[in-house]
């Protein structure tokens, strides 16, 4: 009996060991160079071309892309956060307080919020690292929502009013290019980091933490470092947005900052960072376009989230990558 089957063949240029490959023609060079260069060029040009409304959309897309990458990084070490809003909110409040109350200038308070925010989140969550499984998810889900209630109830840091009158960025180009550069930097830095020896050890912790411990590596210390790195990225986003809106308040801990990054990373494809990036650039503009349907947006994200995690766990990016790197053709096979 004859049957048709899809055959996949690697394109000639892709060497599987991904260390060495030789480029033989200009075309092949393009083939290798286009994927990493395309997002760079697009992101560098967009702020110049977009009308101001869509420029804001670009800014928030980049923020969510960053949050998604920081989420993805944690997942790569085996920590599933349900509360990137914690990192975001802590960064936002530190920036707001140090700018408005301590009077620090914007170019100082953002770095402070980034590093201090990352450190605070790492310290808060480190005790959970000794436990496996869902504890981390539970605690990260609870903490930001709880902090939100506490700010509301206690009136700390401006309570429900929040803190307003925070220094804005000098102009919209500074704003856009800061976040664009940060996003691109994070994208390439994360992608690089996970291929280093250090990144390899982090990934190994996720796969088999006992094997890693048995060679003398303190996995808790490594995980705390990963938390710090991820926390810094999240806190930077919070600090940045605080200055964009000139305001910080309870919404900084809102569930949106936890869900949308998660959906972006899952839809785009976990473990690649490019997937998180792609996912954010699909979902955030989409949600802007769909503003008409209002509250249904979150339903839609969540639906995507569940659908992808169950049916297409590898995400869009892997799919595109496969199409790009392999020929596909139907072949007849004997059965």
DSSP state, 294? T
Name the site residues for other proteins (rule: CB under 8 A): 17, 75, 80, 82, 124, 127-128, 130-135, 137-139, 141-143, 145-147, 149-150, 152-155, 197-198, 200-201, 203-204, 207-208, 210-219, 255, 259, 262, 266, 294-296, 298-299, 301-303, 305-306, 309-311, 313
What token pair was written down for 92?
A: 């936002």
Distances from the Cα of 30 to the Cα of 37, 82, 210, 294, angstroms: 10, 39, 43, 42
The CA distance from 22 to 52, in Å, is 44
Minimum distance from residue 276 beta carbon to other proteins (Å): 14
Beta pairing partners, 164: 247
Distance CA 271, CA 79 (A): 12
Nearer to other proteins, 178 or 265 (CB): 265
Whose Cβ is closer to other proteins: residue 92's or residue 259's? 259
User: In the bound complex, what is the minimum distance in angstroms from residue 263's beta carbon to other proteins?
Assistant: 8
Shortest reach from residue 190's CB to other proteins, in Å: 18
* Residue (43 or 262) nearer to other proteins, CB: 262
- When the beta carbons of 58 and 305 are compared against other proteins, the nearer one is 305
Contact 274, 268 (CB under 8 A): yes
Rounded least distance, CB 85 to other proteins, Å: 12
Asked if 283 contacts 301 with a C-beta cutoff of 8 angstroms, the reply is yes
Q: Which is closer to other proteins, CB of 215 or CB of 331?
A: 215
- Name the nearest CA neighbour of 98 among 229, 224, 235, 225: 235
Query: Which CB sits closer to other proteins, 67 or 239?
Result: 67
In the bound complex, what is the minimum distance in angstroms from residue 288's beta carbon to other proteins? 18
Min CB(302)–other proteins separation in Å: 4
Nearer to other proteins by Cβ, of 232 and 259: the residue is: 259
Report yes or no: 235 and 121 within 8 Å, Cβ to Cβ.
yes
With helix as H, strand as E and coil as C, how does 203-247 read?
A: HHHHHCHHHHHCCCCCHHHHHHHHHHHHHHHHHHHHHHHHHHHCE
Helix (H) or strand (E) holding 138: helix 135-154
Q: Smallest distance, Å, CB 176 to other proteins?
A: 31
């Amino acid at each position: 009996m004859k049957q048709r089957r899809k055959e996949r063949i690697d394109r000639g240029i892709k060497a599987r060991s991904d260390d060495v490959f030789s480029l033989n023609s200009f075309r092949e060079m393009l083939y290798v160079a286009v994927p990493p260069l395309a997002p760079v060029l697009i992101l560098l040009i967009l702020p110049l071309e977009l009308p101001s409304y869509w420029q804001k959309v670009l800014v928030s897309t980049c923020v969510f892309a960053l949050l998604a990458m920081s989420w993805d990084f944690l997942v790569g070490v085996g920590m599933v956060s349900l509360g990137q809003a914690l990192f975001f909110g802590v960064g936002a409040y530190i920036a707001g307080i140090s700018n408005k109350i301590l009077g620090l200038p914007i170019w100082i308070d953002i770095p402070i919020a980034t590093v201090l925010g990352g450190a605070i989140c790492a310290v808060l969550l480190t005790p959970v690292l000794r436990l496996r499984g869902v504890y981390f998810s539970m605690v990260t889900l609870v903490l930001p929502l709880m902090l939100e209630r506490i700010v509301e109830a206690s009136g700390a840091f401006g309570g429900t009013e929040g803190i307003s009158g925070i220094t804005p960025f000098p102009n919209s180009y500074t704003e856009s290019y800061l976040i664009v550069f940060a996003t691109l930097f994070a994208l390439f830095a994360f992608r690089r980091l996970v291929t280093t020896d250090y990144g390899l050890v982090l990934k190994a912790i996720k796969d088999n933490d006992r094997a890693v411990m048995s060679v003398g590596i303190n996995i808790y210390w490594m995980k705390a470092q990963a938390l710090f790195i991820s926390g810094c990225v999240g806190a930077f986003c919070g600090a940045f947005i605080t200055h964009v809106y000139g305001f910080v308040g309870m919404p900084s801990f809102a569930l949106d900052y936890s869900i949308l990054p998660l959906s972006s990373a899952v839809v785009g494809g976990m473990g690649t960072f490019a997937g998180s990036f792609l996912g954010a650039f699909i979902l955030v503009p989409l949600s802007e376009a769909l503003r008409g349907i209002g509250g249904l947006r979150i339903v839609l994200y969540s639906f995507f989230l569940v659908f992808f995690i169950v049916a297409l766990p590898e995400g869009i990016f892997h799919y595109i990558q496969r199409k790009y790197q392999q020929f596909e053709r139907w072949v007849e096979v004997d059965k």
